[in-house]
Amino acid sequence: MKIGRLSLSLLLFSLMLAIQTQAVERKYMGVRECDGCHGGGAVQYPNLVNSWQIWAQDDKHSRAYSDLVEKPLSKHIAGWMGLPLDQPASWSKCTVCHMVDVPKDLWGEKFDPTTEGVGCEACHGPAEDYLIPHK
């Protein structure tokens, strides 16, 4: 019976090691890569609704970055937080919520967080892997 438990323990340990994968950093591709299937000019599948168009037209997340840099309220909030009143795009306390704030080496060719605000990849993660099975 001891050999059975030991074998089972070794098997489970081996499976855990096999399941663990090294984190591979994927690129953020930008919301324009999502709109082809999720609501851009040519929606291919009716059950996908028009999630991209809804985001772009009606969702405040799409304007989160532009609100940060254009609205006077941003400077008032910065003052309340004790931040400098110029260049809100450089305040990490702000950009972490007002854009998809990732290192530049993870930016795909069309990714520009300053034009996207809080886009699809903020919640769904980097789209690099999504695009392969979608095409």
Residue 99: C-alpha distances to residues 36, 37, 52, 76, 95 (Å): 21, 22, 16, 19, 6
Other CB atoms closer than 10 Å to residue 58's CB: what's the count? 9
Q: What is the pLDDT of residues 16-57, one digit of tens each?
A: 555 544 457 889 999 888 877 777 555 566 666 678 888 888
- The residue ranking higher by pLDDT, 60 or 2, is 60
Taking Cα atoms as reference points, which of 33, 26, 36 lies closest to residue 107?
A: 26
Cβ within 8 Å of residue 89, ≥6 positions away: 65, 68, 69, 95, 114
Residues whose CB is less than 8 angstroms from the CB of residue 23 and which lie 6 or more positions away in sequence, other chains included:
none
The model carries a pTM of 0.69
pLDDT in tens, 47-99: 666 788 888 888 999 999 999 889 989 888 888 988 887 777 788 888 888 99
Is residue 39 a contact partner of residue 53, using CB atoms and an 8 Å limit?
A: yes
Per-residue pLDDT at 25? 83
The angle subtended at Cα 121 by Cα 118 and Cα 124, nearest 5°, is 120
pLDDT in tens, 95-130: 888 999 889 999 999 899 888 899 999 998 999 887
SS3 37: coil
Extents of the domains making up the chain: 23-134
Whole-number average pLDDT of the chain = 79
